[in-house]
Amino acid sequence: MEKKSEKYECYVLVHNIAKRHNVGTLARSATAFGVAEIILVGRRDFNAFGSHGSTSHLKFRHFHSLSLARSFLKEKDCDICGVEITDNAMAVNEHPFRKSTAFLLGNEGTGLSAKECEICDFFVYIPQYGGGTASLNVTVAASIVLHHYGESIAEERKLRKETNANGFFNESGKDEAPSNLLDGLFAS
């Protein structure tokens, strides 16, 4: 049986974020939800206010342009998912994630620009149930999306575990105890 790596990773792409302390809060959520790297595009400076020290667990990477960031992610066979209410956007709670995914969030307030939308493979939106504003704080939006990605991958992993109970599969090692026990059994 072929040994196939199915370890999915999650990235957050931040393009010219305006309120720099948002990066800190974002880092805190990213750590909680197992994000591999935060990728800053454009403006390099940021501060970690609001991260409560979580930046030490996280990798940050920087690119000068969106297309350079896209090339890096495509080499990793990673989908780029824009968080934006577009005509063909899918509800994030329907978990339309199939593999490693980088989430692109717009600058606060204005949403994704045409240039930002261009590098996206698909879009998700966050269903709302109120009658008021449609705009969420950028770190709130990111956190909801990361939470759903984590949920989606956890479900997928569970499913895989059930269907491959006698086979061989890789785990990220961040799952609950039973899978780690299985990993131990299969370790060479």
Q: Does 98 bind a copy of itself (CB under 8 A)?
A: no
Q: Which of 16, 71, 128, 164 binds a copy of itself (CB under 8 A)?
A: 128
Sheet holding 59-63, edge to edge: 59-63, 37-41, 10-15, 101-105, 79-83, 122-125, 90-91
- Cβ neighbourhood burial of 175 (10 Å; 0-12, 13-18, 19+): middle
Give yes or no for residue 134 binding a copy of itself (CB under 8 A). Answer: yes
Q: Are strands 37-41 and 90-91 parallel, antiparallel or unpaired?
A: unpaired
Residues 6+ away with beta carbon under 8 Å from 82: 89, 103, 104, 112, 116, 117, 120, 122, 123, 124
Of 87, 130, 162, 185, the residue at the interface with a copy of itself (CB under 8 A) is 130
- Closer of 56 and 166 to a copy of itself (Cβ): 56
d(CA 8, CA 140): 23
Contact stretch for a copy of itself (CB under 8 A) within 41-49, 62-70, 72-80, 133-141: 133-141
Is residue 140 near a copy of itself by the rule CB under 8 A? yes
Q: Is 158 in the site for a copy of itself (CB under 8 A)?
A: no
CA distance 119 to 82: 9
Residues 41-80 that bind a copy of itself (CB under 8 A): 50, 52-54, 57-58
Judged by beta carbon, residue 127 or residue 167, the one nearer a copy of itself is 127
Smallest gap, in angstroms, from Cβ of residue 109 to a copy of itself?
8
CB of 119 to a copy of itself, least distance (A): 25
Nearer to a copy of itself, 28 or 70 (CB): 28
Encode burial over 8-25: b for 16+ CB neighbours within 10 A, e otherwise.
bbbbbbbbebeeeebbbb
Binding site for a copy of itself (CB under 8 A): 25, 28-35, 50, 52-54, 57-58, 93, 109, 126-137, 139-140, 143-144, 147, 150-151, 153-154, 174
